[in-house]
Amino acid sequence: MKPRRRLPDPRLRRLEMLSHCGKCLHLCGLLIDARPAKTSFSDGMKTLNALLLALALIANPSLFGEETKAVNPDESNIEAIAERENKYTDGLLKRNFEELASVFADTYVNTSPSGQLRSKAEFLAALKADTSRISEIKESEKQTQLYGDTAVVTVKFEVQGTDQGEAFEFKGRATDIWVKQNGQWVCVAVHSCSAK
């Protein structure tokens, strides 16, 4: 007499429909097939616990090394600061004083390479009166460090341009301090110095 073929357990079919990960499906199939034909109440509870564990694994594919697409809050803040830094640089290159004013906090303080301190209004007035024209700003070694709603950006830079028709070049380093106010990153302080 031929042995009777066992029909698939209906719970396995349900798990197959729920599963979206081959590894989980294989695990579920092993758990169900390992069940003895006759079970006591405690064996049934063990099987139920195993099934619940399997369902939890199915519901969390990141446990199997699959990447999740969650946005890192630090990454989004660093990207926002980079955008604001780009506006700052763009404002300097294009002499767009409105754009620069929008990047600076009302309490902005600039420390120049000569050691002179200027407020936001004084710095913008000095830029307007300046006869030099920047043609290029090259940046390197840029790093951004976040401290909650405060960020410190350090950068090495090279500025090229003309002043009253004569070419000039300036190499330096800058430290920009950014603070998140009312959901917007604003620059509160900049210190720059010459560098080789």
Burial class (CB in 10 A: 0-12, 13-18, 19+), 28: buried
pLDDT at 35 over 80: no
pLDDT tens digits for range 89-146: 999 999 999 999 999 999 999 999 999 999 999 999 999 999 999 999 999 999 999 9
Residue type for position 61: P
Residue 177 has pLDDT above 60, yes or no: yes
Contact yes or no for 196/113 (Cβ under 8 A): no
Task: Decide if pLDDT at 164 tops 60.
Answer: yes
Rounded distance, CA 137 to CA 95, Å? Answer: 13
pLDDT(193) > 90: yes
Q: Tell me, what amino acid is at 160? A: Q
- Indicate if the pLDDT at residue 83 is higher than 60: yes
pLDDT of the residue at 34: 40
Q: Give me the pLDDT at residue 15, please.
A: 35
Percent over 70 (pLDDT), the chain: 63
pLDDT value, residue 11: 42
Is residue 50 very low, low, confident or very high in pLDDT (cuts 50, 70, 90)? low
- The shares of helix, strand and coil residues in the chain, as percent rounded to the nearest 5, are 40, 35, 25
Give every CB contact of residue 92 below 8 A, 6+ residues apart in sequence: 100, 127, 134, 137
Burial of 8 (0-12, 13-18, 19+ CB in 10 A): exposed
Most confident of 25-34, 73-82, 169-178: 169-178
Asked whether the predicted pLDDT for residue 23 surpasses 50, the reply is no
Most confident range, picked from 7-11, 41-45, 50-54: 41-45
d(CA 130, CA 33): 82
**Higher model confidence: residue 129 or residue 21?**
129
CA 185 to chain centroid, in Å, comes to 14
| Lowest model confidence (mean pLDDT) among 3-12, 83-92, 129-138, 165-174 | 3-12
Between these two residues, 66 and 123, which has the higher pLDDT value? 123
Q: How confident is the model at residue 44 (pLDDT cuts 50, 70, 90)?
A: low
